[in-house]
């Protein structure tokens, strides 16, 4: 049988024009670039950011990667290191505009394969107008933001203003961890990413669950990266706390358990049993495909992930692959393609099933 149709809502992007300018010696971006055997490296504020595949910035190669891995649609958003929330206002606007204009051009070139979520230059006083223009003028399809902006958390006034704008424009907001720092105990062994990224998302979702934002904005559509962090396991504890602790009492607000069923999470986890469990917590209609294209902590071959998930629950696998995305991004031209059966001997729920097969 054919591989599944997949709509990938977690796919990162770097503007090729930015790469060209940096490699040509352009100044003012507070970024350097070099080529290494493992890929393009952008150095930002003393840190090396590896872009491991050319499709990250060269759109035709991205389309070829999509074809190879069964992805019908990809919803692009800036690589988190390009959020530039730390930047001076003018630089923040410049990089957001270049990123958003570049993604708009990519969508125009491949209108049947790509969609894009706008970067928002939060450090500029003009961020609200820039965000609105990215959707109303450039035609982008939503917003991509981090879990925090400086000292402000996801339930703060800046994010609330963006959420109101998203509802007004009827577009989703994708929420991705960024600038985790080095919390105590996460030094070494890449724990800053392995544990830090999902931990940061869990904290943000915990705050969101008690914020009253969904009560105020019941039609808000948010998609949370990396399966929502650890929140699938924490959801019952949040709900219990709301029931027994006065500091966490929901009052007139929706309780955490209901908030958890009013968000979407992407399926970026390396055990499909965890993905299936997230469906039980958030609802089978609230889990969408996401690969983290094209970073090494992502899903290298999403068609294999969907196939492995189908062995547990074929109907749920089809929802994750493409059906649920239609509620996040209405208007996508989707058609059902059967989820293919696993080959004999393929395991379920282990990272190895998510990697592409070794060359013969």
Percent residues over pLDDT 70 in the chain: 90
Average pLDDT value over all residues in the chain: 90
Q: What is the pLDDT of residue 181?
A: 65
pLDDT surpassing 90 at residue 352: no
Per-residue pLDDT tens over the stretch 96-125: 999 999 999 999 999 999 999 999 999 999
In-domain check, residue 161: yes
Q: What is the pLDDT of residue 287?
A: 98
Q: How far is CA 11 from the centre of its chain?
A: 7
In-domain check, residue 326: yes
**C-alpha dihedral (343, 346, 350, 354), degrees to nearest 10:** -30
In-domain check, residue 192: yes
In-domain check, residue 195: yes
In-domain check, residue 34: no
- Judge contact between 299 and 353, C-beta under 8 A: no
Tokens in use for 90?
């003018």
- Say how far apart CA 11 and CA 293 lie, in whole Å: 5
In-domain check, residue 49: no
In-domain check, residue 188: yes
Per-residue pLDDT tens over the stretch 311-347: 999 999 999 999 999 999 987 766 543 344 333 333 3
- Say how far apart CA 341 and CA 309 lie, in whole Å: 10
- Say how far apart CA 245 and CA 256 lie, in whole Å: 13
Q: What is the pLDDT of residue 334?
A: 62
pLDDT confidence tier of residue 2, bands split at 50, 70 and 90: very low
- Domain range for 105: 6-13+58-354
Per-residue pLDDT tens over the stretch 240-291: 999 999 999 988 999 999 999 999 999 999 999 999 999 999 999 999 999 9
User: CATH number of the domain that 173 lies in?
Assistant: 3.20.20.140
- Judge contact between 199 and 224, C-beta under 8 A: no
In-domain check, residue 134: yes
The total of structural domains in the chain comes to 1
């Amino acid at each position: 049988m054919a591989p599944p149709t997949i709509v990938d809502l977690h796919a990162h992007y770097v503007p090729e024009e930015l790469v060209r300018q940096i490699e040509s010696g352009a100044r003012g971006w507070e970024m350097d670039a070099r080529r290494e055997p493992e890929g393009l490296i952008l150095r930002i504020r003393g840190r090396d950011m590896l872009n491991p595949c050319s499709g990250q910035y060269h759109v035709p190669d991205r389309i070829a990667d999509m074809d190879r891995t069964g992805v019908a649609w990809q919803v692009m958003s800036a690589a988190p290191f390009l959020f530039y929330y730390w930047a001076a206002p003018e630089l923040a606007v410049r990089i957001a505009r270049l990123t958003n204009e570049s993604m708009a051009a990519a969508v125009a070139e491949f209108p049947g394969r790509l969609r894009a979520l706008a970067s928002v230059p939060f450090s500029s006083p003009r961020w609200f107008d820039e965000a609105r223009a990215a959707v109303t003028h450039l035609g982008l399809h939503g917003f991509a933001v981090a879990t925090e902006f400086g000292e402000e958390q996801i339930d703060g006034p800046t994010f609330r203003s963006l959420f109101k704008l998203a509802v007004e424009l009827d577009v989703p907001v994708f929420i991705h961890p960024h600038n985790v720092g080095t919390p105590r105990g996460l030094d070494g062994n890449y724990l800053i990413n392995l544990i830090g990224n999902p931990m940061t998302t869990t904290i943000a979702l915990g705050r969101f669950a008690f914020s009253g934002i969904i009560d105020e904005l019941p039609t808000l559509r948010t998609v949370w990266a990396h399966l929502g962090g650890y929140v699938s396991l924490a959801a019952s504890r949040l709900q219990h706390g709301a029931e027994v602790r006065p500091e966490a009492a929901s009052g007139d607000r929706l309780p955490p358990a209901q908030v958890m069923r009013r968000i979407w999470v992407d399926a970026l986890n390396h055990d499909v049993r965890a993905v299936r469990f997230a469906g039980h917590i958030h609802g089978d209609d609230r889990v969408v495909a996401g690969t983290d294209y094209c970073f090494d902590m992502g899903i290298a071959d999403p068609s294999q992930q969907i196939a492995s998930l189908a062995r547990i629950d074929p109907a749920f696998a089809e929802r994750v692959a493409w059906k649920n995305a239609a509620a996040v991004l209405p208007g996508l031209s989707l058609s059902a393609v059967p989820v293919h059966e696993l080959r004999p001997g393929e395991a379920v729920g282990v990272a190895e099933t998510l990697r592409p097969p070794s060359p013969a």
